[in-house]
Amino acid sequence: MRVAKLQDGLEGTELALPIHSDDGRLLLAAGTKLNKRLIRLLQSHGYTRVAINDPISNNIDLDDAITFETRLQAEKALGNAVDKLVRGYSPDMYEIADAVDAIMFDLKRKSKVSMGIYSIHSFDESTFTHSINVCVLSLAIAGALDWPTSKMRELGTGAMLHDVGKILMPLPILNKPGKLTNEEYELIKTHAEKGWQLLLDCFEVSPYASKSALEHHERLDGSGYPRNLTSSEISDLGKITAVADVYEAMTADRPHRKAIFPELVYAHMSEGKDTQFDGTLVDTLFSTVALFPNGTILSFEGDYVGVVTKQDSRSSFRPYVRIIEGPGIVKPVEISLYEEPDMKIKLILDDYSPESRERISKAFGGEATDSPR
C-alpha cells in the first residue's frame, strides 16, 4: 500500500482504504478499482491523494502513526465542533476529548521505530488534516519525553484546536496560491489571538490548553507573533505545538507550494534550534517521526528508483528501500539505506509514471493492474 497522487494514471488501480465525504458518508469502499469517472468524482470532492495497492507497493504497510478509524474520528470531532461554533452553539468538547484519547491510545501502541504521518485527505480539509497531524506530532514528542497523561490530554486538545482562529479568516486569503500581501499577512497573523479567544470563550478548554493556539507562532528569540514572547514567557505547550506546526506545514503540500524535502526541513529546524525552536523538542521530533514514510517513492543518485518498505530504528533518515529500477536491476532488491551510505536520496517522486509502473509490473510478475491485496 502507498499514497499516490490522484491522477488519470491511476485508472485500474485498487483503493487501499475507504474514502469518505466531508460529512462522513462512505464514497468509495476499499478494494474499489479506480476508473476515470471515479477519479473525477474524488477530484470534485477535493481529493489530491489516495491510498492504493499496486505491485510496486506490494506487502508494504503504511504504518500511519494513528489508525484510519482514529483519523476519521478526529476529523468528525473537529468538523462537528467547527460546525457548531459557526452556527453559534458551544461545541461538544467530549468528542474532541475522545478523539485525543484515541490518538494517545494509538501512539502508545507504536514501537520505538519512527512513525509515518500521512496526508491522504481532501484539499478543502487541509486545515483539519493539518490540525490532526499537529496534534499527533505534538503528542508523539510529549510521549517520547514521558509527559504525564493529564498534561498530554491538555496538549492534545490545545494542539488539535491550535488553528481554530482560521475559521474567522477569509477563505480566499487562506487558500491563496501566491504570496500574501503585507495586509493579508497581518490579517492572517490575528488567527492565533482570535483562536485563543474562541477557545476561552466558546470551548470548555482550560487556559493552559488554550496556550497552544495563542503561542504556536511565538519563537524563543522573540521574533514570533502575536506577542513577541521570548523563551521563558512561552509555555511548554506553545513550544511543542510550534515545532509540530512548522514541521507539518513544511512537509505537506500547500496551495502556494509543494512539500519541502524532509532533509531541508531538518536543516531549517536544526538551524533554528534554541533561537527559534526548543532544541530538545526538535531532536525528539526528528528521532520520532519517519522522514520518508513507508510507501514513499524515492529517486537516488545513479538513476535508481525505490520505494520505502519499512523504517529502521537506527535512523529516521535511512529506512529500508525496495529498489525497483536502475542500472543492473532486473528484479526488486531490498536494501538498508543505513547500511548503504553511498545511496544518496535525490528526490521524493510525486508518483511513478503509469508507463514505468506497467513495465516494472510486467518485469516483476505481470500484475500491472490486478495487484494482490
Smallest distance, Fe ion to C-beta of residue 192, A: 6
- Say which residues have a Cβ less than 8 Å from residue 186's Cβ, sequence separation at least 6: none
Instruction: Tell me the closest approach of the beta carbon of residue 202 to Fe ion, in angstroms.
Output: 18
Q: How far is the CB of 251 from Fe ion (least distance, A)?
A: 15
**Least gap, CB of 225 to Fe ion (angstroms):** 10
Q: Which is nearer to Fe ion, 2 or 211 (CB)?
A: 211
Indicate the residue among 100 and 246 with the shorter CB distance to Fe ion: 246
* Least distance CB 159 / Fe ion (angstroms): 11
Count of residues near Fe ion by CB under 5 A:
1
Query: Tell me, what amino acid is at 326?
Result: G
Concatenated DSSP letters of 129-162: HHHHHHHHHHHHHHHHTT--HHHHHHHHHHHHTT
Q: What are phi and psi of 306, to 5 degrees?
A: -145, 165
Closest approach, Cβ 163 to Fe ion, in A, equals: 5
Per CB under 5 A, contacts with Fe ion among 248-307 are none
For position 163 contacting Fe ion by CB under 5 A, the verdict is yes
Smallest gap from Cβ 254 to Fe ion, in A, equals: 13
Residue 335 to residue 322: CA distance in whole angstroms: 6
CA angle, 353 then 343 then 300, to 5°: 20
**Closer by beta carbon to Fe ion, 64 or else 163:** 163
Distances, alpha carbon 154 to alpha carbons 100, 208, 210, 322, in Å? 9, 7, 9, 41
> Three-state DSSP class for 288?
helix
The stretch among 89-97, 158-166, 323-331, 343-351 that binds Fe ion (CB under 5 A) is: 158-166
- Name the strands in the sheet holding 333-336, side by side, starting at the edge strand that comes first in the sequence: 333-336, 315-325, 304-312, 297-300, 345-348
Part in contact with Fe ion (CB under 5 A); list of ranges 31-39, 47-55, 161-169, 206-214: 161-169
Indicate the residue among 192 and 298 with the shorter CB distance to Fe ion.
Answer: 192
Question: Which DSSP category does 329 fall into?
Answer: -
Give residue number: closest CB to Fe ion: 163
Residue number with CB closer to Fe ion (114 or 133): 133
> By C-beta, is 259 or 329 nearer to Fe ion?
259
Burial class (CB in 10 A: 0-12, 13-18, 19+), 268: middle
Q: Which residues, in sequence order, are CB contacts of 331 under 8 Å at separation 6+? A: 363, 364
> Binding string, 339-368, against Fe ion, x = CB under 5 A?
------------------------------
Provide the 8-state DSSP code for 56. G
- For residue 205, give every residue at least 6 positions away whose Cβ sits within 8 Å of its Cβ, in sequence order, or none: 93, 157, 158, 161, 199
CA–CA dist 244, 265 (Å, integer)? 12
Integer Cα distance of 198 and 300 in angstroms: 47
**215 in contact with Fe ion (CB under 5 A):** no
Instruction: Provide the minimum distance between the beta carbon of 213 and Fe ion in the complex, in angstroms, as a whole number.
Output: 8
* CA 222 – CA 98 distance, rounded (Å): 35
The residue (of 163 and 278) whose beta carbon lies closer to Fe ion is 163
Q: Cell 514514510 identifies what position?
A: 293
Q: Considering the rule CB under 5 A, would residue 75 count as an interface residue with Fe ion?
A: no
Nearer to Fe ion, 49 or 130 (CB): 130
Min dist CB 81 to Fe ion, Å, is 17
Q: With CB under 5 A as the contact rule, which of the stretches 85-93, 160-168, 201-209, 316-324 interacts with Fe ion?
A: 160-168
Region near Fe ion per CB under 5 A, out of 36-44, 48-56, 155-163, 295-303: 155-163
Cα separation, 299 vs 287, in Å, equals 23
Which CB, 163 or 215, lies closer to Fe ion? 163
Q: How far is the CB of 101 from Fe ion (least distance, A)?
A: 24
Q: Per CB under 5 A, which region of 19-27, 110-118, 129-137, 163-171 contacts Fe ion? A: 163-171
Nearer Cβ to Fe ion (153/194): 194
Residues near Fe ion (CB under 5 A) are 163
